[in-house]
Amino acid sequence: MSIIAVGSVKASPGVTTLSVGLAMSWAPATGRRAVLIEADGDGGVLAARFGLASAPSLLELSATARHELTIDRLHANCQMLAGQLPTLVAPGCGETTTVVLTPLAGQLAEGLGQLGDTDAVVDVGRVRPRSPAGELVKRCDLLLLVARPRFDQLVPLVHQARRMIAHDIPTVLVCVGDRPYSPTDMAKASQLSLLGVTAYEPRMAQALERGLPGNQHHRRLLLWRTLTELVRRIQFRLPAETSGREAA
Ligand SMILES: Nc1ncnc2c1ncn2[C@@H]1O[C@H](COP(=O)(O)OP(=O)(O)OP(=O)(O)O)[C@@H](O)[C@H]1O
Ligand SMILES: [Mg+2]
């Protein structure tokens, strides 16, 4: 029942890739179920990237919006990404996604918060004022702002981090790569705590497209260890009542 939103402030630092990796690592690391929601107002890429169908998607889910969002209704509109991860894809067209998502985001946030032992990793795309995924960002349990540690990403990161803090949205930073700036300096400048750093490694993106390796040897790879560690840190930051952890 936790909502973990993942978004960027500029360029394409790897939000979708990280969202897929976190959602795939979620169940093995936490013992809880995960669903991946693509709520990027610029349009979806998951269907094309992972060879899924264009429907069902957010569009089909929105057609039943007058009903409460139950786990069955959500699953009826999900597809299995890499054969293992229930995924609600966004239409490839940004305009369609924006039209569908703007009125649906609040209901999605409400429904996702009630899903028992299923947590949602939500790719909210670019985080900005009046984003169609705004209600999901506002009501998430944790927002991961993803950035490359570069000057062109630092200024918008500082600006958006200030906005998130002002709106009391629990927000942390994930850096993709560790140069030219240090991720610690990015965190200090934005006043966010640094959840972690993922390698800037094209093989990482490619590996994710083949799904989560079942075999122990592959699970020891740095990529999976990094994702598992990030999931654990996320879970640690979630409110105990929504994370499945025992309350202290
Ligand atoms: N950790 C990484 N190392 C190297 N390349 C990466 C990494 N993560 C993503 N990429 C590559 O960067 C490109 C953008 O990735 P992705 O689509 O995940 O970014 P995004 O932030 O979601 O972009 P957009 O703003 O377009 O939604 C893709 O080609 C992807 O393969
Ligand atoms: Mg993306």
Q: Which residue blocks in the chain are alpha helix, DSSP H? A: 15-30, 46-49, 58-62, 71-76, 94-112, 134-138, 151-166, 183-190, 202-208, 216-219, 222-237, 240-243
Residue nearest to atom 2 of ligand 1 (CA): 200
d(CA 92, CA 159): 29
Q: Residue 66: beta bridge partners?
A: none
Confirm if 119 and 32 have CB atoms less than 8 A apart: yes
Cα torsion 6, 12, 18, 23: sign: positive
**Type of residue numbered 104:** L
pLDDT of 217? 58
Is the per-residue pLDDT at 17 higher than 70? yes
Mean pLDDT for 97-107 is 96
Ligand 1 atom nearest 201 alpha carbon: 3
Interval between CA 102 and ligand 2 midpoint (Å): 18
Ligand index nearest the alpha carbon of residue 209: 1
The residue that leads in pLDDT, 81 or 245, is 81
pLDDT at 73 over 70: yes
Q: What is the pLDDT of residue 248?
A: 38
> Domains plus CATH for the chain?
3-238 (3.40.50.300)
Cα 213–chain centre separation: 20
- For residue 146, which atom of ligand 1 is closest to its CA? 21
Q: HSE on the CB side for 52, CA within 13 Å?
A: 28
The pLDDT, as a whole number, for residue 71 is 87
Residue 220 or residue 151, greater confidence:
151
Question: Which run of H or of E encompasses 4?
Answer: strand 3-8
Q: CB within 6 Å of ligand 1 — which residues?
A: 8, 12-17, 40, 125, 176, 198, 200-202, 204-205
Contacts of 8 (CB under 8 A, 6+ apart): 15, 125, 126, 127, 145, 146, 147
Average pLDDT of the segment spanning 213-218: 58
Q: Which residue, judged by its Cα, is nearest atom 1 of ligand 1?
A: 200
Given a contact cutoff of 8 angstroms between Cβ atoms, the answer to whether 42 and 97 are in contact is yes
Q: Which atom, in ligand 1's list, is nearest to the CA of 199?
A: 1
DSSP string, 116-171: TTEEEEEEEEE--TT-TTHHHHHT-SEEEEEE-SSHHHHHHHHHHHHHHHHTT--E
Question: Could you tell me the pLDDT band of residue 247, with boundaries at 50, 70 and 90?
Answer: very low
Report the residue among 16, 17, 24, 40 best suited for mutation to probe ligand 1: largest number of ligand atoms under 8 A from its CB: 17
More confident residue, 200 or 156: 156
